[in-house]
Chain A
Amino acid sequence: MNSNTITIDGREVPFTPGQTIIEAAMAADVYIPHLCHNPEFKPHGSCKLCTVQVNGRNCSACTMPAAEGQQVLNNTKELNETRRSITQMLFVEGNHCCPSCEKTGNCQLQAVGYYVGMLDTHFPHFFPSRHVDASHPDVMLDLDRCILCELCVRASRDVDGKTVFGIAGRGMQSHLVVNADSGKLVDTGMSAADKAAQVCPVGAILVKRTAYEHPIGQRTYDHGDIAEVSLEHDHALTGGDHG
């Protein structure tokens, strides 16, 4: 009989057909590190942080459908070291100065860094020249911190129905663009209430006048690591623990 089960690090995890590996895992309280995945949106599969080994092959847990009998490796030393390198690359290819960032303490990239034991950035820093768009009265855009996860693109297009954001360029030249002739946020239909203003996992899109609302000690990741926080969030969305 088809029991709809996969194994993750030796543990049996049930799935419903159509679920991806990460969805089945999260429902069973198994955290798989991720950044461009957000349970509310269609998968994008770009950051590769969720890389797991399925029957011996590396693949993205956020795009790979769960299938009967898969043997998945997730929390292994080797995979976590790869994830640490990926995180370090994300840090050096942008400008991430956490001490001066409004998102600090509530940032998923930073929290993933803590989770994978990142103490340094290892690689030479690119120190790219990126700009800040402060034109909009209520929303800030600081491209120094953008990790190109496309969550704002997906949110604006699929939820807000506005298509305020897009990605232009390829490879090293990829960058976030604002859909207006001037290229400025103020000339779009963006509003602070939009989903696109809420989904950025890092401090690239911020609602103005909300910075540092919570003092150190009361921020999202001050006490719980990102594994705990993200499982809790996932259960709140999917209506509880069904693992």
Chain B
Amino acid sequence: MAEKLKVATTSLAGCFGCHMSFLDIDERLLALCEVAEFDRSPLTDIKHCSEQVDIGLIEGGLCNAENVHTLREFRNHCKILVAVGACAINGGIPAMRNHIRLEECLEEAYLDGVGVVNPHIPNDPELPLLLNKVHPIHEVVTVDYFLPGCPPSADVFWKFLTDLASGREPQLPYDLVHYD
């Protein structure tokens, strides 16, 4: 039997909606597991990529230093890197903070916002530093494929992965392409 495709996934500045949508392929997951196995992913709780991963799926854009670090690890280990969803492709909803100064965002969230108790901007050294702006991942690494949508539907994941698994160039029909 041919070796299974290694698939890694991660969520950067995303909401996990893309991962949930991926899981919406439901019982097709069983068929997928015949030809693919999960490597680093929140689904396996494996913390780092194997040396050689075939497909890396990235949900979310870049909002902090750790996101950039994780993205680089994926790029270094994944033969094919895929930007999944609006956030990874163009920053998406988190990028709506881009025209507001970072300081103001933090003040609003942790000091002055409605209902804030114990006003204090988190400063634990374990916390990754925020970037001034949220960026799409193609601004930092080369991306091989893009799956638009917020989130892309389960059928998008299915079509894309089955195309790749059977050696076809992935193609999304009109009905599966949407930016929202």
Contact = CB atoms under 8 A, between A and B. Distances in A.
B86 A99 contact: yes
A101 to B, nearest CB: 7
A130 B135 CA distance: 18
Interface stretch (A4-12, A40-48, A115-123): A115-123
Nearest to A223: B175
Given A99-B86, A122-B138, A113 B179 contact: yes
B90 A125 contact: yes
Nearest to B96: A97
B93 A99 contact: yes
Contact of A129 (B91, B96, B99, B180): B99
Interface string A98-138: 11110011000010011000011110110111100000000
Contacts of B57: none
Given A122-B138, A125-B139, A98 B150 contact: yes
Given A119-B177, A120-B89, A125 B135 contact: yes
Given A95-B99, A127-B99, A127-B133, A121 B177 contact: no
B92 interface: yes
B95 interface: yes
B93 A97 contact: yes
Contacts of B180: 98-99, 101, 104-105
A100 B92 CA distance: 9
A113 B90 CA distance: 14
A127 B97 CA distance: 10
B177 A114 contact: yes
Interface residues of B, number: 28
B76 interface: no
A225 interface: yes
Contacts of B92: 97, 99
Nearest to A144: B99
A72 B99 CA distance: 43
A129 B97 CA distance: 11
B95 A124 contact: no
A181 to B, nearest CB: 25
A100 to B, nearest CB: 6
Contacts of A184: none
B89 A121 contact: yes
Contacts of A130: 99
Contacts of A120: 83, 89-90, 138, 143, 146, 148
B95 A97 contact: yes
Interface string B6-38: 000000000000000000000000000000000
Nearest to A113: B179
Contacts of A165: none
Interface in B125-180: 133, 135-136, 138-139, 143, 145-148, 150, 172, 174, 177-180
B98 interface: yes
A110 B98 CA distance: 21
A157 interface: no
A130 B133 CA distance: 15
A96 interface: yes
24 contacts: A95-B95, A95-B99, A96-B90, A97-B92, A97-B95, A98-B86, A98-B179, A99-B92, A99-B150, A99-B180, A100-B96, A104-B179, A104-B180, A114-B174, A114-B177, A119-B89, A119-B146, A119-B172, A120-B83, A120-B143, A121-B138, A125-B95, A127-B98, A127-B99
Given A120-B146, A121-B89, 11 more contacts: A97-B91, A98-B180, A99-B179, A101-B180, A104-B179, A110-B179, A124-B139, A125-B95, A127-B98, A127-B133, A128-B99
